[in-house]
Homo-oligomer: A and B are copies of this chain.
Amino acid sequence: MFRDIFRVGFYETDALGHVNNTRLPQWFERSRDPLFDLFNPEKSLHNPHLILARMEVEYKREIYYGAEVEIRTGVRRVGTKSFVVYQEAWQNNQCCAFGESVLVHYDYPTKATLPLTDAQRAMLEEHQFGPKG
């Protein structure tokens, strides 16, 4: 499981006085970087080898400006061509939001999905995280 700690920017709040819901997908994207690095160690912008197919967030508690947020990221399930990432956002010892995203193994130049190799599957399974099922 990967941990990513950062400070909330004031520009990330909204008029309700807490962090706007649309910031979670941005923070979650940034915190999926270590998983992208497994597939794209050279950090190619033209072929990162993974494409986002689906994303989902559940909002449990408000997140506030003025206290650090920790995003926890890992792999919930590994399929044949894709895997499911599970992520949580913590602030003040409470899980405030969690979510899943589906990343597909993908070759950008040919626009083709690709099976995950055994080595890739093993690599992903080292980072298991999230509720079962």
Contacts and interface: CB of A to CB of B under 8 A. Distances in A.
Nearest to A53: B59
Chain A residues touching B, range: 35 or more
Contacts of A59: 51-55
11 contacts: A9-B26, A10-B15, A11-B22, A14-B14, A15-B18, A15-B45, A21-B29, A43-B65, A54-B56, A54-B57, A56-B56
A108 B9 CA distance: 20
B29 A9 contact: yes
Contacts of A115: none
Contacts of A55: 21, 56-57, 59
A91 interface: no
Interface of A: 6-7, 9-11, 13-18, 20-22, 25-27, 29-30, 33, 43, 45-46, 48, 51-59, 65-66, 108
A30 B54 contact: no
Nearest to A45: B15
A12 B14 CA distance: 7
A13 B15 contact: yes
A108 to B, nearest CB: 8
Given A7-B33, A11-B26, A54-B56, 8 more contacts: A9-B26, A10-B29, A11-B14, A13-B15, A15-B17, A21-B29, A54-B58, A55-B57
